[in-house]
Amino acid sequence: MTEVRRLSGDECQQYLGALAGVLLDCVDGNASVSFLWPFSCGEAEEFYASVFDEVRKGKRILLAAFLDGELLGTVQIVTAMPPNQPHRADVAKLLVKRSARGHGVAAMLMDEAERAARSAGKTLLVLDTVVGGSAEKLYSRLGWTRVGVIPRYAMFPDRSWCDTAIFWKGLI
């Protein structure tokens, strides 16, 4: 059975290789998740090193999904917000290995992200995603509200443009 759990600042380092592997798999699959080709394992590890620092400082929550000890996916909740937005958090980097997609891993990660955000005192979540992708459909199914689309907001790893949908969800 797939288990989703929050990684503590102390335990992050032990999963560095597995987290980097999930990110590499997604970028290799041309997912628009902030990185461009070519993308190396070292770059993925460097990215997660900065994430771990924010987790240790309490500015970010890192969740991971495991099946039989294998890390299948991850999502982050950015909790550090400006003083006038203490109630809000951003959901970032919902990543699931291509081989694990279609089995509910992303939905489990998002359900746990909502619980973790509530536990952190957050009542509003915001995220962005590629228009037309499977994540956009997932967020709609999970009750998120689509605000609109920003054309050519980002690029895929192959440097082609993608439009981005902005979503929000209230937790009260």
Work out whether strand 124-130 and strand 161-170 pair parallel, antiparallel, or are unpaired: antiparallel
What does the DSSP assignment read for 63-84?
EEEEETTEEEEEEEEE----TT
Residues 139 and 91 sit within 8 Å (Cβ to Cβ) = no
What domain range includes position 23?
3-170
In whole numbers, what is the pLDDT of the chain averaged over residues? 97
Q: At 51, which helix (H) or strand (E)?
A: helix 41-56
Cα distance between residue 140 and residue 128, in whole Å: 12
- 43-88 residue pLDDT tens: 999 999 999 999 999 999 999 999 999 999 999 999 999 999 999 9
End-to-end Cα distance, the chain: 29
- 6-28 residue pLDDT tens: 999 889 999 999 999 999 999 99
Residues 6+ apart with CB under 8 A from 100: 65, 67, 72, 73
In 3D space, the residue among 2, 171, 14 whose CA is nearest the CA of residue 96 turns out to be 2
Q: What is the CATH number of the domain that holds 29?
A: 3.40.630.30
Residue position matching structure tokens 């203490």: 86
Q: Specify the pTM.
A: 0.97
Q: For the chain, how many structural domains are there in total? A: 1
